[in-house]
Structure formats: structure tokens, C-alpha cells
């Protein structure tokens, strides 16, 4: 799916090895975006909330893996929107302007333009979009308001260890390579991600998906049916058909239940 490549693209570089799991980034995001608290319960882990939610644009994923030096090794991974250059969510969205690209390359959203169709859910390879109590899309927007004013994203500014860095995407990648990281996850995936990760271990150890791809139904929709959707009933029927094929009748209801 050919997209215009964003010039002067900005990105967040996540270095999980430097993360201490303090979750200051979660708090900073909530604070800047004025997101309400979420009632959760103890699931036997410090990962809280258990997953992304309409009021949790980023979470630290906690996992334990076997280690030679210690009984277990604790891994921390910042999970949030990846701001894909080839963004499945944008490709499928039938509401003009509901999801849009900022000058810095972020995939942002307009609450008022979202029509609550939830097509973006299954178009996202990273399971990111969530929906608020009004049924409107809600996710990390790379602090579009802050970076547009030449400030750092709130989570990056707060991170005490440098596990999150923000800047020119090419410069961040070059610096991470010079530091000797084995893998820069997201350098080329989906046209290049706007959230990139520097790993010394295999990304799979941290639960990263290998070779993320956009579902073929989304590409078909983007290429052939979406143009119709902008013109009346034919497009509405096409959208309904694709919604059924891509998502099925009940899946979005299940996701809403999981968020409670
Ligand atoms: S991670 Fe998902 S929601 Fe974020 S830009 Fe990519 S496709 Fe869209
Ligand atoms: S970039 Fe902004 S919106 Fe995205 S996770 Fe960080 S603080 Fe939240
Ligand atoms: S603020 Fe930085 S060190 Fe703390 S949990 Fe977030 S990414 Fe990790």
C-alpha cells in the first residue's frame, strides 16, 4: 500500500533495556491528555492496567523470562500506537479526517469526526485502537499538540532513564545503530514505524510480533471499495460487507467487555 513518505519525520525510540518499569510515562500521558482513572484489579502483576484502554494510551508490559544469572529476568516494554507509515487504521477509516497524519508523521485522531464504525480495530496489526464511552476512537497521538509546539511528548519528557527518546527518526536510528543494538524494530516494517525499538535481545522475547502486516481485506478495501464509500449507498453497502468480513458481528463487543 503506497503512502507518501513523511519528510522530516519524528519518532519515539524505546530502549526496553533501559526501562526500570517505574510507569512514570503512563502517569505523564494521563496527566497531559487529562485521561480519567480506570478501575482495575490485581492480576498478580505490576502491569496495570492490564492492556491499552481508551483512557490508557500507553502501558508498560511486564513479563518474566528464564535467565541464566537469576531465577527469572523481568522485562519491561512500553506499548502504545506505533504511528505506522503504512497505517492500516488510516487506510480503512471511511470518515475523512477521523484519523490523520500530522506534519511530524504521527497518526492522530479527531474525536468529533470518528463515526464509531470500529473498522480500524482489525486493520491495526498491533491491536491499538480503543473506544471511549461515546464510542469514539482513542489512542496515543504522539502528543501532536506538544510536538507541534516543539515540545517533547509528555511520556518522553518524564522518563527518568532515557528508555524513551524523541527526535528526528533517522537520527534516532543512526544513534541506536552506533550504540550497537542488534535490532531496530520498526525501521522498515509497514513503511517504517514512528515508534521504534532498540533491542539487544530478540524482539520476540519481549512479545513483539514478527513481520507485522496489514490484513489483505484492508488493502482490498483501501484500493477498490473505499473510494466508493465516499459516494453514497454503494459505498455504505461495501463498508457493511467489509465490516462483516474483517471484524465479524461480535468482535468489537468482546473488546468493549475486555476493557471493563
Ligand atoms: S499501530 Fe495501529 S493504530 Fe497505530 S498507526 Fe499503526 S495501524 Fe494505526
Ligand atoms: S506520546 Fe503523548 S499521547 Fe503518546 S503515549 Fe506518550 S504521552 Fe501519551
Ligand atoms: S518512564 Fe521510562 S523508565 Fe519509567 S516505565 Fe516509562 S519508559 Fe520505563
Span from the CA of 198 to the centroid of ligand 2 (angstroms): 18
CB 118 within 8 A of CB 98: no
Q: Residue 258's pLDDT band (boundaries 50, 70, 90)? A: very low
Domain of 90, in residue numbers: 1-260
**Structurally, how many domains does the chain consist of?**
1
HEC string of 177-224 equals: HHCCCCEEECCCHHHCCCEEEEECCCHHHHCCCCCCCCCHHHHHHHHH
The residue nearest atom 2 of ligand 2, judged by CA position, is 143
Residue 58 has pLDDT above 60, yes or no: yes
Of 6, 3, 219, give the one whose Cα is nearest residue 106. 6
Strands 195-199 and 10-14: parallel
Of the candidates 174, 186, 190, 168, the one whose C-alpha atom is nearest the C-alpha of residue 9 is 168
State the ligand closest to the CA atom of 23: 3
Whether the CB-CB separation of 240 and 247 falls below 8 Å is answered with no
Residues 6 or more apart whose Cβ sits within 8 Å of residue 39: none
Which atom of ligand 1 lies closest to the CA of 81? 4
- Residue labelled with grid coordinates 503506497: 2
| pLDDT tens digits, 8-27 | 899 999 999 999 999 999 99
- The bound ligand whose nearest atom lies closest to the alpha carbon of 29 is 2
Mean pLDDT, residues 43-51: 92
Residue 239: per-residue pLDDT: 58
pLDDT band at 259 (very low <50, low <70, confident <90, very high): very low
Per residue in 102-152, pLDDT (tens digit) is 999 999 999 999 999 999 998 999 999 999 999 999 999 999 999 999 999
Count of C-beta atoms within a 10 Å radius of residue 177: 13
* pLDDT score of 78 more than 90: yes
| Residue 72: Cβ within 10 Å count | 10
Please list, in sequence order, all residues whose beta carbon lies within 8 angstroms of the beta carbon of residue 249, skipping any fewer than 6 positions away. none
User: Residue 212's pLDDT is what?
Assistant: 96
CATH of the domain at 126: 3.30.70.20
Q: List, in order, residues 6 or more apart from 73 with CB less than 8 Å away.
A: 64, 65, 66, 67
Q: Kindly report the protein residue whose alpha carbon is nearest to atom 8 of ligand 3.
A: 19
| pLDDT classification of 86: cutoffs 50, 70, 90 | very high
Amino acid at each position: 500500500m503506497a503512502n507518501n513518505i513523511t519528510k522530516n519525520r519524528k519518532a519515539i525510540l524505546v530502549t526496553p533495556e533501559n526501562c526500570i518499569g517505574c510507569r512514570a510515562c503512563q502517569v505523564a500521558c494521563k496527566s497531559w491528555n487529562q485521561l480519567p482513572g480506570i478501575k482495575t484489579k490485581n492480576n498478580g502483576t505490576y502491569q496495570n492496567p492490564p492492556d491499552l484502554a481508551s483512557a490508557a494510551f500507553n502501558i508498560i508490559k511486564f513479563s518474566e523470562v528464564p535467565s541464566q544469572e537469576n531465577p527469572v529476568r523481568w522485562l519491561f516494554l512500553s506499548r502504545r500506537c506505533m504511528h505506522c507509515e503504512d497505517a492500516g487504521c488510516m487506510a480503512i477509516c471511511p470518515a475523512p479526517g477521523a484519523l490523520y497524519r500530522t506534519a511530524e508523521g504521527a497518526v492522530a485522531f479527531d474525536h468529533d469526526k470518528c463515526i464509531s464504525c470500529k473498522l480500524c480495530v482489525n486493520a491495526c496489526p498491533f491491536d491499538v485502537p480503543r473506544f471511549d464511552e461515546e464510542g469514539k476512537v482513542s489512542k496515543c497521538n504522539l502528543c501532536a499538540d506538544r510536538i507541534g509546539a516543539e515540545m517533547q511528548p509528555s511520556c518522553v519528557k518524564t522518563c527518568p532513564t532515557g528508555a524513551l527518546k524523541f527526535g528526528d527518526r533517522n537520527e534516532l536510528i543512526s544513534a541506536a545503530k552506533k550504540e550497537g543494538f542488534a535490532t531496530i524494530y520498526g525501521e522498515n516494517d509497514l513503511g517504517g514505524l514512528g515508534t521504534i525499538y532498540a533491542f539487544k535481545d530478540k524482539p520476540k522475547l519481549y512479545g513483539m510480533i514478527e513481520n507485522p502486516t496489514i490484513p489483505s481485506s484492508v488493502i482490498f478495501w483501501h484500493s477498490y471499495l473505499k473510494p466508493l464509500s465516499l459516494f453514497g449507498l454503494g459505498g455504505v453497502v461495501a463498508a457493511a460487507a467489509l465490516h462483516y468480513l474483517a471484524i465479524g458481528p461480535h468482535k468489537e463487543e468482546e473488546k468493549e467487555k475486555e476493557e471493563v
